[in-house]
Amino acid sequence: MSETLPLFPLSAVLFPGMRLPLHIFEERYRTLVADLLAMPEPRRFGVIAIRKGREVGADAVTSLHEIGCIAQLRQVTPDADGKYDLQTVGTDRFRLLRIERPGKTPYFRAEIEILADADIAADAEPGNTAPGKTGSGKARPADAGPANAGPHDTGPHDTGRVAIGVVVRQVQAGFRGYLNALADRGGGVISVADLPDEPILLSYVVGAAMIIDLPERQSLLAAPDALTRLRLERSLLSRETAMLHVTTSRPAPDYDFEQFSPN
């Protein structure tokens, strides 16, 4: 099911659950905020990363990525000169279906479909099969138990959950090692609250906090499920940690995704 939302192109990637403050000064985005404030809550708009172009200017954006994140407006602070400071938080991923370029409104609008992370328990590790199939591909009765099942055997969802748990622990350990490498390079100490065990939330937290290029961060947002995203993050964390051990300067990470966008 699709819906149409105002669209806010940025040179950044927003993940669900992450905060995004915005400073609004362009006239077209002042209009967007005024239109949002005239709507009932929840007041929502789409944040999408720019593939080609820049944030500022009416004709600055020439190409957008396909997957974005809905931002929900939490707080609006107007300035005396008509500008706004916004506090927003990401809620759901979406796919662009159709873009309405500025015309009826001075800002982009888009038809989108909400994307839910796929069920990762059933498809977690090698050996996953289609419903009603055995590992050899032979059909068996729908009401039959697992082939050759014994009294202590587990079903595919149990196996999937074990596999997910392994990847979750690997990413948690890899992220802590990454933070330790950052702290070593900066000569300080980075303390982090307990990392979530829930796979989807962990994948969003790590994806938002790592210092990586926009295309790589976008690929994490676009991953079809948390397990795929966590596996990508596991590889990126290994690479980035190794790089930190051989380089002398890296910027500090932004754990709250609290960058200010000049829009």
Q: Looking at the domain assignment, is residue 125 inside a domain?
A: no
Residue 134 maps to a domain: no
Residues 102 and 29 in one domain: yes
Dihedral class, residue 221 (left if φ above 0, else alpha if ψ from -120 to 50, else beta)? alpha
Q: 191 Cβ partners below 8 Å, 6+ apart? A: none
Concatenated DSSP letters for 147-176?
TT--TT---HHHHHHHHHHHHHHHHHHHHH
Please report whether residue 139 resides in a domain. no
Q: Is 127 left (phi over 0), alpha (psi -120 to 50) or beta?
A: left
- Does residue 146 form part of some domain? no
Exposure string for 192-201, b = 16+ CB within 10 A, e = fewer: eeebbeebbe
How far is the CA of 96 from the CAs of 64, 68, 119, 153, 242, in angstroms? 9, 8, 22, 43, 36
- Whole-structure pTM value: 0.78
Within the chain, strands assigned E span 2-10, 19-24, 44-53, 61-64, 67-78, 84-100, 109-115, 261-262
In tens, the pLDDT along 42-82 reads: 999 999 999 987 666 556 677 899 999 999 999 999 999 99
Q: In the chain, how many domains are there? A: 2
- Domain of 45, CATH number, reads 2.30.130.40
Domain span holding position 180: 157-244
Does any domain span residue 223? yes
Query: Which has the higher per-residue pLDDT, 147 or 232?
Result: 232
For 181-226, how does the pLDDT look when each residue is reduced to its tens digit (9 = 90+)? 988 877 566 667 789 999 999 999 999 999 999 999 999 999 999 9
Asked whether 128 and 122 are in contact (CB, 8 A), the reply is yes
pLDDT at 137 over 80: no
Domain edge (last residue) among 84, 101, 116: 116
Least confident of 18-22, 48-52, 146-150: 146-150
Last residue of a domain, one of 52, 87, 116: 116
Domain containing 209 — which CATH number? 1.20.58.1480
